[in-house]
Structure formats: structure tokens, C-alpha cells
Amino acid sequence: MTKAVRSKFWHSDGRRLSGLSTLLLLLPFFAVIAFVFIYPIAQLLLISFLEPHPTLDNYARVVDNPVHARVLMRTLWTAALVTALSAVLGFPVAHYMSRTKGALAALVAVCVILPLWSSVLVRTAAWSFLLQRNGLINSALMALGLTSQPFKLLYTQSAVVIAMTHVLLPFMILPIYGALRSIPNDYARAAAVLGATRLRTFLEVILPLSLPGVVSGSLLVFLTALGFFITPALLGSPQEMMISTLVSKQIREILDWPFAAALVGVLTVFVTLLAIVFSKTLRFDRLMGSAS
Amino acid sequence: MGNEIFVKAASTTPATAGASIRISRLEKRFGPVFAVDGVDLDIAAGEFIALLGPSGSGKTTILMSVAGFEFPTSGTIQVDSEDLTYVPSNRRNLGMVFQNYTLFPHMSILDNVAFPLKMRGLPKAERHARAEAALATVRLGGYGNRRPNELSGGQQQRVALARAIVYQPRVLLMDEPLSALDKNLREDMQLEIKRLHAELGITVIFVTHDQSEALTMADRIAVLKDGKIKQIGPARELYERPANLFTASFIGEMNFVDVTVESVGDVVSVGLPWGETWQLPATAAVDGVKAGEAAVMAVRPERLRLGAGAAGQIVNVTLSDIVYAGSAMLLIGRLPDGTEMRARIPGESQLSSLAPGDVASFTVPAAAILLYQGKR
């Protein structure tokens, strides 16, 4: 038996870090979070309640003005649509990735991950080239004789949804891929030998077991989409603002900080509620109980 | 479409019917490597066959080919003279138990067991009733509402067993089903599986690398190496008269001594490395040893008798270790030429006086000696 190292920095068994060391190691992270995230958000929320004087008027304006309420609803709807689209488009890719090995798998993985390394601005700009009046899509449609007039594609809500889906797709694919990879091969084999066709195996076994991945992917995409700024700002219609563009306008053009802060407050409430609902109602840890 | 056929097969086949299996010239290549290299195996209806071998011997590949997870490079697999070689798994109607239970974690125990019946289109009430009955067969009645992760490893494997027999398949495939369990549980499960096999009359192919498991459970054991069957036979035959050096060294403990064959006739006389010549009965030669060639003499440690007796050869062993091993004492030492020799001697009366460094005499009964061609 080796003698346990006794020190403030180690647990008494000598193998684990003590509570104190754990705290010290985590401190820098929490300090940064507190400084760059919690403090500014708290300040903003304070402004929304306290300026110009202690009041709930700023929030009343969000709800009372139908334009603002519509912006909020549009934002939620767009985020939901983007989430649904990326789930539908991303699942097959993740499924393919989880079942393929070798060079082809690496190629697909690179195709999924590479866009993450390029700026959102670049990817959004690329879409505006594709979607503009004399862009690639319109010229192709006209060359094929499918239309004589170019469609209005750019500066529409559809352009926003398409580009956001493209930008956020990796955040859907990667968690689903992770969930699918953690399902042992033997489950599919067991289902097959028990008489399940490939489709039944997928529907009854693989899909339910990959749901935790779908849920975390959806949460990531939905929450990110709610606060998306560059893509709606560059590709969207000025008549169909999203909440982030509205906030930006309030701050930069109208200089109405209290109202912008109230908008952020409403968004924060939605995000928090959503996170709570997901973690309380869906016990996915239980679902995955013995899938080791 | 196909499913209706199985429902019919499942409900009209009596519970006592196992299928015969014929594997002919089975070959599976992965690139230049032969995982299975020309295996022929005839399994009688209701027989319990163990495929035993070290890892990489091809035993699992054979099982995967029977299950339909691997398609062989050549050869055929017939079940009740129906060619299943290239039939997909889900249309083979075989039962299978995996090493890691593979219960679906998102389903209750009852839904797990009812799963194959659901795939066969049985109505809910009937499949639940039959799943309950199958759970009762493995003594887990009343566990239906639990989740797989609420059960112990042994219970999970019994559920897997119930799920594999609930649709009354004619063949049950088992891929190292007990290797994830601890020793006591493993022995319980061995008995449980034996009992089920006797009750259902189902044909069982059981893959294992644990020889004692194979010896205690199977009617016949196929010993595999490098994709080939080295020997197939009942446990007793495999243990008492292994057909070749590989089986002799793979099954149980064995002492080997390199010898030279001097003459072959009514008796075989062999020259031992320390100069003695022994006359052995002709039956000792398992494969055709020839005069003037090298051979290997093999003796099981438990066949040696301490002290110089009448019927047999005498060897002197310089002891190096004396190990108390419960039911027997294990004596380890060296023959005059330095070859290691082990003896397992039950009882302890004469042993207390022995110490490492002593020279002990052992009697090797003539009937205990086996002779193989070649060298160790």
C-alpha cells in the first residue's frame, strides 16, 4: 500500500483533487463568464427595469406594439423552422457518417466541420451571391427555361431560413452523429436476427436511441437561431425583422437602450424557460440508461 | 410479405423441434486472410454444439455466417436442408443471444421480449401473453415492467434468452453469452441454458473461448484454429484422446516430452531425451508415428502417480514448486533432461514430506501416454 498523499490539494485517498483544488481550477473560467457574460446581461436587464425611471413600461412596449410582438413571433417561428429543417437534413448525414469508415467518412466529416472554421459572414455573403437577381440560381432557372423573370430570392425570409439552416447544420449533425455512434452495432444485429427489417430496425431501435442527440442538436440550433444577427441582417427583408436586428436598430439608430434591453430580457426569459422545460420533462439520461 | 411466413412457421413448429444444420466447405476471406478456411460441420437436430478456439480462430465468423451478419466467400449453410447462405438475418428465423445482452434500453423488459413477435405481426395481447410466458420460462415472471438497466447482468442475459426463444426458433445461436458474467453467475446460467436446451429440444450453436464451459455444456465440441476445425467430438474424446498436438495442448493441461521413435510394431519403442528407452502399447500412437522420426509424448498431469508403482514407466522429477491447489496438490519440477513436468496429486498424506529440491519418483501408467508426430 502506498501512503496517501495528504495535502490541501488532494482528496484524502490521494488520487482525486480536493474540493479546494477543483474550485481553484474552475475559478478562471467562471471569472471570465461572470465578467463577459453575466455582468453585461445583468446590467442590461437592470437598464430595462430602471430607465428612464423604475418601470415595466419598456416590457409593456414589447407586448403592446403589434410590430414588436410580430418580430418576436417571427423570430421564434424562424428558429423553429430552421431547427426542423436542419434536423431533417442533418439526420441522414449523421446516420451516414456513423456507418461509414475510411476515406469517404473522413471526406464527409470534413465537409461538415470545414464550414465551422469559416466565418458566418463569408457563408452568408456566399448565399447572397447565389440568391441575388442575376445570381447563379436565377440564371440557372432562366437558362433552363423554367422562368422568364428572375425570382426575388434575396432579402426574403426564405433566404434567411435557407442560409441559417446551412450555417447551423453542423450543430445539428454533430450531436446526432455522437448519439448514433454510441449505439452498439449489436443492437441493429439483434433487431435483425429477431426479425426486424432494416426500416423497422431504424424506426424501433436506432431512431429512439438517437433521440437524445436530436434533442441536444435541436436545442443548440434553436437557441443559436433565436439570437442570429448577421444572416438576417444581410439576407433578410427590412420589413421582416428578427429580434436581433430589432435590438441592433434600437441601440445603434434609435439609441433606445432601455427598450433594447427589454427585448433582450424577453428573449432571455424564452431561452431560460425552454432550457428548463427540456431538462425537466424529458429524462433522456434514463432513456439511455444501459446503452453502454 | 415475408413476415406472414414466419408467423406460420413459428406457430406450427412444435416447441420440441430443433433443426439440423449442415455447413459445407465454408470459406470467409478478409483480403488475403482466411477467417474461415473450408469448414464442414454437420449438426444433428436438437444437438448442442460448442465452437471452441482462441481468438481469431474463426469461431465467431462461422456463427456470424449462420446468423446472416456475414456472407461467406464460398460454401453453403443449410438449416433443415433449406439453403440460408445468402438469406438476410431477419428472414432466417433463428434465435440469438449476444455477449453484451443487447436488450433495447428504451423498452421495458416485456416489450423487449415481445419485440420479435411484434416484428412478426402478432396482435398486442397475444405477444404480451407469450412474452410473459417466455419470461416465466427463464424464471423472471413479473419483471416485465422493469427497464433493462434495473436488472443485474445475469437477469439481463436471461431476458435476452427469453427474447431469443419466444418465437420458437429452431436454432439458438449463442456468442460467448456468459463471458460478461462473474463466475458463480456463469455456472448458474450454464445450468439454465442446459435446462432450456433439454426442455425445448432446440439446436444450439454455442461459441466460447472457455474450454471448461464447452466441455461441461456441449454434446460435441468443435476445436478451431486458424479458420479450420482441428477436431470435433464429445468432451470425453477430446480430453482423453486429443487427435492432434494442437487439441492436446489447447484442451486442459498436458505435459509434453520430445522423443525419438525407435521402432513401431505391437509395441512402440521410443527413446527419451535422457537416454532411456520406453516400450509403449501401439494404441498410444494417436497419429501414424514412424520409426526413426521425432515424436511428442503427452501425459495429463493428473494421470501421474507419486511413487514407483507396478504398471507403468517410472520418471524421476526434481521438484521446483509445490503448490496447494485445493482439491489437489500441484507439483512442478524438471525431468532429467530439463523438460518441465507437472503432476496433480489428490490427497496430501505422502506430500507433506516433499520440499523443493527433492527428487520424486512418479509412475506414468502406460494407458495415460499419447504419442504424436512432430516436435513440441
The residue of chain B nearest to residue A190, with distances taken between CA atoms, is B102
Q: With contacts defined as CB-CB under 8 Å, which chain B residues touch A193?
A: 67-69, 89-90, 92, 94-96, 173
A193–B167 CB contact, under 8 Å: no
* Domain shared by B22 and B39, yes or no: yes
SS3 B21: strand
Using the structure block, give the residue that is written with the C-alpha cell 452568408: A124
pLDDT value of position A201: 95
| B27, pLDDT greater than 90 | yes
| A161, pLDDT greater than 50 | yes
Q: With contacts defined as CB-CB under 8 Å, which chain B residues touch A291?
A: 105
pLDDT value of position B169: 94
pLDDT value of position B327: 79
pLDDT value of position A289: 42
Closest listed residue to residue A274, CA positions, set A241, A240, A225: A225
The residue of chain A nearest to residue B94, with distances taken between CA atoms, is A193
What band does B6 get if pLDDT is binned at 50, 70 and 90?
very low
Q: How many angstroms away from the CA of A184 is the closest CA of chain B?
A: 8
Q: In chain A, what percentage of residues exceed pLDDT 70?
A: 92
Domain closes at, from B210, B245, B280: B245
Q: With beta carbons less than 8 A apart as the criterion, state whether B96 and A190 touch.
A: yes
* Domain shared by B181 and B259, yes or no: no
Q: Chain A interface residues facing chain B, Cβ-Cβ under 8 Å?
A: 184, 186-187, 189-197, 200, 204-205, 208-209, 286-291
Task: Identify whether A48 is part of a domain.
Answer: no
Q: What is the CATH number of the domain that holds B325?
A: 2.40.50.140
A192, A193, A205 member nearest B104 (Cβ): A205
**A&B contacts, CB < 8 Å:** 79
Distance CA B326, CA B330 (A): 9
pLDDT value of position A254: 85
**Residues forming a β-bridge with A17:** A10
CA A247 to each of CA A56, A156, A244, B44: distance values in angstroms, whole numbers, following the listed order = 18, 19, 5, 78
3-state DSSP percent of chain A in helix, strand and coil, to 5: 75, 0, 25
B3–A193 CB contact, under 8 Å: no
Q: What is the CATH number of the domain that holds A258?
A: 1.10.3720.10
The residue of chain A nearest to residue B172, with distances taken between CA atoms, is A193
Distance CA B300, CA B367 (A): 11
* Domain shared by B48 and B184, yes or no: yes
B6, B67, B98 member nearest A195 (Cβ): B6
- Calculate the average pLDDT of chain A: 85
Distance CA A178, CA B129 (A): 37
| A267, pLDDT greater than 90 | no
pLDDT value of position A203: 94
Task: Identify whether B45 is part of a domain.
Answer: yes
Among the residue ranges A185-199, A228-242, B55-69, B113-127, the one predicted with the least confidence is: A228-242
pLDDT value of position A283: 55
Q: In chain B, what percentage of residues exceed pLDDT 90?
A: 69
The residue of chain A nearest to residue B164, with distances taken between CA atoms, is A194
Task: Identify whether B218 is part of a domain.
Answer: yes
| B15, pLDDT greater than 80 | no
Is residue B79 within a helix (H) or strand (E), and if so which, with residue range? strand B74-79
* Domain shared by B224 and B262, yes or no: no
pLDDT value of position B335: 93
pLDDT value of position A132: 84
Q: With beta carbons less than 8 A apart as the criterion, state whether B98 and A191 touch.
A: no
Q: With beta carbons less than 8 A apart as the criterion, state whether B249 and B299 touch.
A: no
The residue of chain A nearest to residue B106, with distances taken between CA atoms, is A287
B95, B149, B167 member nearest A290 (Cβ): B149
Q: With beta carbons less than 8 A apart as the criterion, state whether B251 and B242 touch.
A: yes
* Domain shared by B174 and B301, yes or no: no
The separation between CA A23 and the C-alpha centre of its own chain, rounded to angstroms, equals 30
pLDDT tens digits, one per residue of B279-301: 999 899 998 888 889 999 999 99
Instruction: Say which residues have a Cβ less than 8 Å from residue B332's Cβ, sequence separation at least 6.
Output: B319, B320, B321, B322, B323, B340, B341, B342
Task: Identify whether A13 is part of a domain.
Answer: no
Q: How many angstroms away from the CA of B220 is the closest CA of chain A?
A: 25
| B75, pLDDT greater than 60 | yes
What band does A14 get if pLDDT is binned at 50, 70 and 90?
low
B68–A205 CB contact, under 8 Å: no
The residue of chain B nearest to residue A211, with distances taken between CA atoms, is B106
Question: Would the pTM of this model clear 0.90, i.e. be above it?
Answer: no
Give the domain extent around B215. Answer: 2-94+169-245
Task: Identify whether A27 is part of a domain.
Answer: no
Task: Identify whether A15 is part of a domain.
Answer: no
Looking at the structure of chain B, the number of domains it has is 2
Q: What is the mean pLDDT of residues B295-323?
A: 89
Task: Identify whether B164 is part of a domain.
Answer: no
What band does A286 get if pLDDT is binned at 50, 70 and 90?
very low
The separation between CA A33 and the C-alpha centre of its own chain, rounded to angstroms, equals 19
Q: How many angstroms away from the CA of B150 is the closest CA of chain A?
A: 9
* Domain shared by B70 and B211, yes or no: yes
| B343, pLDDT greater than 80 | yes
Among the residue ranges A6-10, B86-90, B297-301, the one predicted with the least confidence is: A6-10
A186, A204, A287 member nearest B98 (Cβ): A186
Q: What is the mean pLDDT of residues A163-182?
A: 93
pLDDT value of position A118: 83
Q: With contacts defined as CB-CB under 8 Å, which chain B residues touch A288?
A: 105-106
Q: In chain B, what percentage of residues exceed pLDDT 70?
A: 94
The residue of chain B nearest to residue A288, with distances taken between CA atoms, is B105
pLDDT value of position B364: 92
* Domain shared by B16 and B47, yes or no: yes
Residue B126 has which C-alpha cell?
Answer: 397475444
**Residues forming a β-bridge with B281:** B267
Please, what sign has the CA dihedral across residues B307, B312, B318, B321?
negative
* Domain shared by B306 and B333, yes or no: yes
Looking at the structure of chain A, the number of domains it has is 1
- To test the contact with chain B by mutation, choose from A189, A194, A200 the residue with the greatest count of B C-beta atoms within 10 A, namely A194
Among the residue ranges A98-107, A135-144, B1-10, B207-216, the one predicted with the least confidence is: B1-10
B103–A290 CB contact, under 8 Å: yes
- Calculate the average pLDDT of chain B: 89
B102–A291 CB contact, under 8 Å: no
A187–B102 CB contact, under 8 Å: yes
Q: With contacts defined as CB-CB under 8 Å, which chain B residues touch A187?
A: 102, 104
B105–A288 CB contact, under 8 Å: yes
Q: How many angstroms away from the CA of B125 is the closest CA of chain A?
A: 19
Residue B109 has which C-alpha cell?
Answer: 423488459
Domain closes at, from B200, B227, B245: B245
Please, what sign has the CA dihedral across residues B9, B12, B14, B15?
positive
What band does B349 get if pLDDT is binned at 50, 70 and 90?
low
Closest listed residue to residue B329, CA positions, set B299, B349, B309, B312: B349
pLDDT tens digits, one per residue of A122-153: 888 888 888 888 888 888 888 888 878 888 88
What band does B3 get if pLDDT is binned at 50, 70 and 90?
very low
ipTM for the predicted complex: 0.82
Q: What is the mean pLDDT of residues A63-90?
A: 91
* Domain shared by B182 and B209, yes or no: yes
Phi, psi (5° rounding) for residue B247?
Answer: -60, -40
Distance CA A268, CA A280 (A): 18
- To test the contact with chain A by mutation, choose from B119, B130, B161, B167 the residue with the greatest count of A C-beta atoms within 10 A, namely B119
What band does B302 get if pLDDT is binned at 50, 70 and 90?
very high
Give the domain extent around A225. Answer: 57-117+160-291
Among the residue ranges A48-52, B121-125, B244-248, the one predicted with the least confidence is: A48-52
pLDDT value of position B13: 41
Q: With contacts defined as CB-CB under 8 Å, which chain B residues touch A186?
A: 98, 100, 102
Residue B333 sits at the vertex; the CA angle it makes with B329 and B339, to the nearest 5 degrees, is 135
* Domain shared by B178 and B266, yes or no: no
Higher pLDDT, A243 or B50: B50
Distance CA B376, CA B372 (A): 9
B100, B149, B163 member nearest A194 (Cβ): B163
